[in-house]
């Protein structure tokens, strides 16, 4: 009898899964990424072996296989061997350049089309559910208030953006949830499709459908973490053998990508940088990593010279703070030391002069800084789902405190221990209305940016936590 009941239960589960599959079809995700010079590319993740066609204004465009299904050989990861496993991708990843058109769809799903002058931008970052054994960090992935990326994605989609910027760190379910932990019980883990789907594609679906994405790569997407899926699914450029994070011997190639620009129209552009492999110590400029980041900076400078106004998007902030606490003493840590040490060679501003706004994540909070020196404003939007960094930042910075040598803050705002997203509405050639939203989309702070200068109404947001 017991066996019969179990069989019946399994059949019910199987039937439900079958119905879900039938309702959704083989396509697991369909979205649009923006690459070099804003070139739009449709991406599809499907359980089918073959790729579907994209319909543009009723015309079918064939998609090609970017990555075939497969289980990649076990490789060294950031975790110990017992906490690592081979990455399984039982899905086909498809791609097709997306020409200009009025309507686009794939498998009956509408695809968002890029506009030449996006005026409404959503900025999110650090969105996965943190399960990391070595840090004893086990975020409650099963609780929509404690892991709220799905809510954030739905609220951000309701803003109806023209463009979504993700400042990096998508995959956090690196290790198994410990037995007896109800908060994350049953979570998938590792760096394969199941983890990426649970951490990013499923909760992020409404926002992936809302607008094309400019996606920056975080340190959680370095080769020894989520880099394999980064290359197979997310990176806007071509997937090349040897640059795919499969063989650790090639990580020196797979961990770096060239900067690229996404035009915003009217003399403005985004420039996306890949800082995924940056550590937080000074780099010898003659070392292999030093040479890589010097080359990146030279290419960034060349792109920045093309327009009078650039917004630089990079996972690690260079002109913001992260607070840490030891034995009750709080330290304000400066911007990323690896990047500052290279970007600052012969340049006290750390970025080309036409870069007037910096967007980053990595620190799990919202933060804004403006400077009395001629440094660009920095915004940090690492507060969109991952367990927050809750060591408090001061409401007012001590006079001599600087996130980088020579940069003197004149305005500082933060929101600690609150989840949400940022929006930017363009109000002029070099000006933006910037809003800070909670998970439900409610505005908790209002900021503006004009050229290199920015300010927010509230220095330190304090709102009750939901739930």
Per CB under 5 A, the segment of 111-119, 219-227, 231-239, 368-376 that binds Fe ion is 219-227
Question: Which residues are within 8 A (CB) of 258 and not within 5 positions of it... i.e. 6 or more apart?
Answer: 274, 296, 299
Does the protein bind Fe ion through residue 388 (CB under 5 A)? no
Q: Which of 257/354 has CB closer to Fe ion?
A: 257
Distances (CA, A) of 281 to 86, 253, 278, 286: 31, 21, 9, 15
Q: What minimum distance in Å lies between the beta carbon of 361 and Fe ion? A: 6
Indicate the residue among 362 and 437 with the shorter CB distance to Fe ion: 362
Of 304-312, 317-325, 358-366, 397-405, which part binds Fe ion (CB under 5 A)? 358-366
Interface pick for Fe ion out of 118, 148, 203, 218 (rule CB under 5 A): 218
Task: Count CA atoms within 13 Å of residue 85 on its CB side.
Answer: 17
Task: Confirm or reject binding of residue 79 to Fe ion (CB under 5 A).
Answer: no
Question: Smallest gap, in angstroms, from Cβ of residue 253 to Fe ion?
Answer: 21
Shortest Cβ 47–Fe ion spacing (Å) = 30
In the complex, what is the shortest distance from the CB of residue 132 to Fe ion, in angstroms, rounded to a whole number? 12
Confirm or reject binding of residue 362 to Fe ion (CB under 5 A).
Answer: yes
Q: Which is nearer to Fe ion, 41 or 219 (CB)?
A: 219
Residue 18: both structure tokens together:
């079958």
Q: Quick check: 151 binds Fe ion (CB under 5 A)? A: no
Looking at beta carbons only, is 95 or 255 nearer to Fe ion?
A: 255
Interacting residues of 222 by C-beta distance below 8 A, sequence separation 6+: 255, 276, 277
Least Cβ distance, residue 381 to Fe ion (angstroms)? 12
Residue 219 touching Fe ion (CB under 5 A): yes
Of 43-51, 151-159, 183-191, 357-365: span binding Fe ion (CB under 5 A): 357-365
- Toward Fe ion, which CB reaches closer, 222 or 269? 222
- Nearest-CB residue for Fe ion: 362
- Pick the closer one to Fe ion by CB: 278 or 449: 278
**Burial group, residue 281, by CB count within 10 angstroms (0-12, 13-18, 19+):** exposed
Q: Which residues pair with residue 432 across a beta bridge? A: 426, 449
Cα distance between residue 98 and residue 92, in whole Å? 19
The region of 147-155, 253-261, 273-281, 356-364 touching Fe ion under the rule CB under 5 A is 356-364
Q: Judged by CB under 5 A, does residue 227 bind Fe ion?
A: no
DSSP string, 280-324: SSPPPTTSHHHHHHHHHHHHHHHHHTTSSEEEEE-SS-SS--EEE
Q: Is 127 in the site for Fe ion (CB under 5 A)?
A: no
Contact call for residue 274 and Fe ion (CB under 5 A): no
What does the alpha-carbon distance between residue 181 and residue 140 come to, in Å, rounded to a whole number?
9
Closest CB to Fe ion among residues 66, 130? 130
Give 260's strand partners: 272
Cβ partners under 8 Å of residue 347, min gap 6: none
Looking at the DSSP assignment, which residues form a beta bridge with residue 89? 70
Q: Which is nearer to Fe ion, 79 or 354 (CB)?
A: 79
Q: How far is the CB of 169 from Fe ion (least distance, A)?
A: 4
Pick 231 or 432: Cβ nearer Fe ion: 231
Q: Secondary structure of 199-226 in the HEC alphabet? A: HHHCCCHHHHHHCCEEECCCHHHCCCCC
Site size toward Fe ion (CB under 5 A) is 4
226 near Fe ion (CB under 5 A): no
Classified as helix, coil or strand, 195 is helix
| From 169, 199, 244, 389, residue interacting with Fe ion (rule: CB under 5 A) | 169
Distances (CA, A) of 436 to 81, 92, 242: 41, 37, 40
Give contact residues for Fe ion (rule: CB under 5 A).
169, 218-219, 362
């Amino acid at each position: 009898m017991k066996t019969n009941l179990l069989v019946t239960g399994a059949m019910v589960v199987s039937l439900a899964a079958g119905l879900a599959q039938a309702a959704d079809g083989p396509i697991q995700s369909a979205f649009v990424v923006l690459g070099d010079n804003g070139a739009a590319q449709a991406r599809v993740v499907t359980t089918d072996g073959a790729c579907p066609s994209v319909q543009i204004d009723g015309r079918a465009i064939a998609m090609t296989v970017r990555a075939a299904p497969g289980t990649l050989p076990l490789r060294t990861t950031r975790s110990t061997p017992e906490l690592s496993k081979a990455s399984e991708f039982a899905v086909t990843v498809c791609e097709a350049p997306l020409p200009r058109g009025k309507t686009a769809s794939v498998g009956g799903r509408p695809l968002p089309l890029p506009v030449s002058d996006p005026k409404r931008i959503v900025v999110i970052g650090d969105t996965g559910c943190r399960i990391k054994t070595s840090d004893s960090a086990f975020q409650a992935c099963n609780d929509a208030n404690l892991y709220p990326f799905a809510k954030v994605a739905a609220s951000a989609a309701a803003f109806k953006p023209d463009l979504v910027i993700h400042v990096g760190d998508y995959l956090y379910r690196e290790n198994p949830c410990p037995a007896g932990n109800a908060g994350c019980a049953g979570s998938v883990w590792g760096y394969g499709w199941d983890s990426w789907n649970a951490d990013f594609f499923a909760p992020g679906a409404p926002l992936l459908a809302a607008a094309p994405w400019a996606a920056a790569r975080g340190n959680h997407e370095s080769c020894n973490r989520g880099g394999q899926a980064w290359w197979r699914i997310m990176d806007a450029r071509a997937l090349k053998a040897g640059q795919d994070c499969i063989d650790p011997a090639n990580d020196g190639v797979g961990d770096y990508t060239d900067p690229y620009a996404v035009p915003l129209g009217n003399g403005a552009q985004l420039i996306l940088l890949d800082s995924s492999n940056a550590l937080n110590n000074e780099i010898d400029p003659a070392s292999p990593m030093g040479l890589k980041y010097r080359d990146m900076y030279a290419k960034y400078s060349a792109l920045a010279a093309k327009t009078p106004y650039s917004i630089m998007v990079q996972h690690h902030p260079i002109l913001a703070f992260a607070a840490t606490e030891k034995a009750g003493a709080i330290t304000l840590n400066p911007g990323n030391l690896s990047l500052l040490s290279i970007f600052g060679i012969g340049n006290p501003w750390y970025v080309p002069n036409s870069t007037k706004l910096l967007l980053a994540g990595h620190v799990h909070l919202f933060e804004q800084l403006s400077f009395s020196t001629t440094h660009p404003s920095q915004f940090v939007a690492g507060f969109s789902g991952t367990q927050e960094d809750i060591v408090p930042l001061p409401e007012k910075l001590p006079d001599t405190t600087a996130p980088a040598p020579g940069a003197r803050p004149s305005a500082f705002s933060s929101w600690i221990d609150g989840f949400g997203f940022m929006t930017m509405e363009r109000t002029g050639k070099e000006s933006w209305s910037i809003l800070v939203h909670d998970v439900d989309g409610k505005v908790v702070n209002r900021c503006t940016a004009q050229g290199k200068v920015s300010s927010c109404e509230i220095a330190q947001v304090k709102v009750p936590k939901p739930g």
